[in-house]
Amino acid sequence: MTVVEDIPGEPVDARGRVEELRALRERARRGPSDRATEAQHAKGKLTAHERIALLLDEGTFREVEQLRRHRATGFGLEEKKPYTDGVVTGWGTVEGRTVFVYAHDFRIFGGALGEAHATKIHKIMDMAITAGAPLVSLNDGAGARIQEGVSALAGYGGIFQRNTRASGVIPQISVMLGPCAGGAAYSPALTDFVFMVRDTSQMFITGPDVVKAVTGENITQNGLGGADVHAETSGVCHFAYDDEETCIAEVRYLLSLLPQNNRENPPAAESDDPADRRAESLLDLVPVDGNRPYDMRKVVEELVDDGDFLEVHERWATNIICALGRMDGQVVGIVANQPQSLAGVLDIEASEKAARFVQMCDAFNIPIITLLDVPGFLPGVDQEHGGIIRHGAKLLYAYCNATVPRISVILRKAYGGAYIVMDSQSIGADLTYAWPTNEIAVMGAEGAANVIFRRQILGAEDPEAMRARMVKEYKAELMHPYYAAERGLVDDVIDPAETREVLVSALAMLRTKHADLPSRKHGNPPQ
């Protein structure tokens, strides 16, 4: 059976044909029915076109293949052939720069992916790669269209292949605005950033019903794969928000910090914040006592333009901070230990989080500033058995492989292998600065004294007094603030209040940095 009731008849003249075209476009834009739109709104969700209107500059969206329909037959599909086939694709601008977008329309087949649906996505992805412009996916789909069988699965394969081909070439951003189950979850996982909305978006490979059948565990969709789960526990989600409007506004902000592609630098912006502004408050923000915690975010606020930055993975692996901001109008990536969480140690999750952020910055020509206050790697059986060696090596590999300008600042303590891994001069940092409060050593003075002077301490009449004396001696000999500078391992010891000025000057000098890499197909990073 063929659907014919909405196929236009013979036009009387050219103007008649144009009127019919307008009617078809309006029908495609409205979706299947007002009732379906009302149902979407009742769930607290916007339609595909409403979401695109929030993302793109007003009036700039140009839709591609709006009148596309599927060609499948059987299972009642031949009687239902809506325009767009459940996905809206096209391009527009964000702050005047071209951005490609595709948005699932949950009102049509629940946003499920079929052959025609996938072909539209493949086309817009290819266009984004060819044009060298970011790709944003607004995901609200029920997975593969079961009625189309293996054709739907092959459609996902084509998306995954293009995600991988575009990786590190153009920014790819996935915005989760509804359910995303099964193989469909892999495409967002392959992109650079994942945004989610609480209560309305979920991601999982197998849903609650399958989990219960296999393991006997009872869990809700949000409990299994909601925004908070992926923002705090799994690390799949980089940003989570309460509503779609805020979420999409933050996508626009992120795009303003990213280049169009890997051949360009991020866009500069005018800044009223003086490049040579002194940050006197830094002298009080960071305690000299290495055991006292403080909030590293406040340090970042003092350094970036107007205290404004976008933290990535804010709620996952909170012992390390990864953020994008500007200094003198130029975009920078910031990696910083967070003494307020687990004393700022490196563990499995922190290493993974920072490694991927460093790789993203390097791919898109974003200079990296590293702020160190790290006591080492987190000890423990769980960490060792979980592969802290392998995961810590990911961060080491990412830094060593990065060719963008890299500047490190040691605020307070930097101990052991964690000091090396956090972009030390020995692994290729272009410039390394230290505050007068810095302590760089293999380990803390107490631990070092217990190892080096063990016999003297045990043989002393007053072991505790001897231990205190040896700790003081070790600090004076090997941990004083200028020890590393005397050996050329730190380029300069600076006044904390001058940190912003020093960084801005160094970044300006390094802006034309060029690094020659050995010829190779690709590296083999630790997994």
Q: Which residues are catalytic?
A: 182-183, 417-418
Phi, psi at 334, each rounded to 5°: -120, 125
Q: How many Å from the N-terminal Cα to the C-terminal Cα in the chain?
A: 52
Report the distance separating Cα 527 and Cα 308, nearest Å. 34
Strand-pairing partners, residue 321, are 336
Burial of residue 35, with CB atoms counted within 10 A of its CB: 0-12 exposed, 13-18 middle, 19 or more buried: exposed
Phi, psi at 64, each rounded to 5°: -115, 135
DSSP string, 430-475: SEEEE-TT-EEESS-HHHHHHHHTHHHHHHSSSHHHHHHHHHHHHH
Report the distance separating Cα 11 and Cα 69, nearest Å. 22
Closest by CA to 273, choosing from 305, 303, 298, is: 305
Report the distance separating Cα 180 and Cα 224, nearest Å. 12
**8 A C-beta contact, residue 439 and residue 422:** no
SS3 for 479? coil
Report the distance separating Cα 295 and Cα 289, nearest Å. 14
Phi, psi at 410, each rounded to 5°: -95, 110
Helices (H), ranges, 279-380: 282-285, 296-303, 348-363
SS3 for 227? helix
DSSP string, 355-418: HHHHHHHHHTT--EEEEEEE--BPPSHHHHHTTHHHHHHHHHHHHHH--S-EEEEEEEEEEHHH
Structure tokens at 413: 């303590």
Report the distance separating Cα 309 and Cα 175, nearest Å. 20
**8 A C-beta contact, residue 237 and residue 194:** yes
Report the distance separating Cα 42 and Cα 397, nearest Å. 48
